[in-house]
């Protein structure tokens, strides 16, 4: 399961009970041909959309409840195609809330970068940290979100995921290289 991945991992999971949110993420993060909309490049940048040749797109999967999200993470791991990042809503009635969902996702794959997406503060940051731990692979995005913020988080956190995998692979290689050679026993006369 901790197999080294040397290429970009642009696989994302959106866990939110609102189908419109899934559409919003797809519009921001997937690459699609642009119609000639008359926007100049400056307007395009500030709307959070870049031209297809400016960046790579993301592969986005959707889950509408926490349990479904966990199953997708487990299936991705079994297939050897883990997600690098999950955007997780805090409120998803009637199932798990965001904190429980994140705890379950990290139990399955502790490498997963996660962005909490919320319009409400059901939990304080201290409560979230108390329940999930003070981890460096957790960020918060307030709804309604800005397209540029979503794109920046996706770019930065998928890159961080890859760099973390590279570092762990190198550390493992260094540890093996630093192992002392086994002693060779030479029979003494006889």
Note down pLDDT in tens along the chain; length 190 residues: 444 445 689 999 999 999 999 999 999 998 754 444 444 454 455 555 544 445 678 999 999 999 999 999 999 999 999 999 999 999 998 989 999 999 999 999 999 999 999 887 778 888 899 999 888 899 999 999 999 999 999 999 999 999 988 887 777 766 666 777 676 777 776 5
Determine, yes or no, domain membership for 129. Answer: yes
pLDDT for position 2: 45
pLDDT for position 33: 46
Determine, yes or no, domain membership for 125. Answer: yes
Q: What angle do CA 103, 16, 83 make, to 5 degrees?
A: 60
Burial (CB count within 10 angstroms: exposed 0-12, middle 13-18, buried 19+), residue 144: exposed
Domain of residue 24, CATH code? 3.40.50.2300
Determine, yes or no, domain membership for 128. Answer: yes
Determine, yes or no, domain membership for 52. Answer: yes
Where on the phi/psi map is residue 132: left (φ > 0), alpha (ψ -120 to 50), or beta? alpha
pLDDT for position 47: 55
pLDDT for position 175: 66
- How far, rounded to the nearest angstrom, does the alpha carbon of residue 62 sit from its chain's CA centroid? 13
CA dihedral 114→7→3→168, nearest 10 degrees, is -70
Determine, yes or no, domain membership for 164. Answer: yes
Determine, yes or no, domain membership for 48. Answer: yes
Q: Which residues contact 100 (CB under 8 A, 6 or more apart)?
A: 66
Question: How far is residue 133's CA from residue 175's CA, in Å, rounded to a whole number?
Answer: 28
If DSSP codes are grouped into helix, strand and coil, which group holds residue 158? Answer: helix
| Of the candidates 33, 34, 24, the residue with the CA atom closest to the CA atom of residue 62 | 24
pLDDT for position 177: 66
The secondary element (H helix, E strand) that includes residue 171 is helix 147-177
Number of structural domains found in the chain: 1
pLDDT for position 184: 72
The boundaries of the domain holding residue 117 are: 11-177
- Contact between 120 and 93 under an 8 Å Cβ cutoff? The reply is no
Alpha helical stretches, state H, 10-146 = 19-29, 41-46, 66-78, 98-108, 125-132
Determine, yes or no, domain membership for 4. Answer: no
């Amino acid at each position: 399961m901790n197999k080294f991945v040397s290429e970009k991992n642009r696989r994302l999971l959106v866990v939110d009970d609102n189908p419109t949110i899934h559409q919003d993420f797809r519009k921001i993060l997937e690459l699609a041909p642009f119609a000639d909309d008359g926007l100049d490049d400056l307007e395009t940048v500030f709307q959070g959309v870049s031209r297809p040749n400016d960046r790579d797109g993301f592969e986005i999967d959707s889950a509408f409840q926490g349990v479904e999200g966990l199953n997708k993470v487990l299936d991705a791991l079994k297939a050897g195609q883990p997600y690098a990042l999950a955007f997780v809503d805090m409120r998803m009635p009637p199932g798990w809330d965001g904190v429980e969902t994140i705890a379950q996702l990290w139990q399955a794959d502790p490498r997963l970068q996660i962005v909490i997406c919320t319009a409400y503060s059901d939990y304080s940051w201290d409560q979230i940290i108390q329940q999930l731990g003070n981890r460096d692979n957790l960020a918060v995005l307030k709804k309604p979100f800005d397209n540029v913020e979503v794109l920046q988080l996706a770019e930065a956190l998928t890159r961080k995921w890859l760099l973390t995998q590279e570092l762990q692979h190198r550390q493992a290689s260094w540890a093996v290289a630093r192992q002392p050679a086994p002693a060779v026993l030479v029979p003494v006369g006889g």
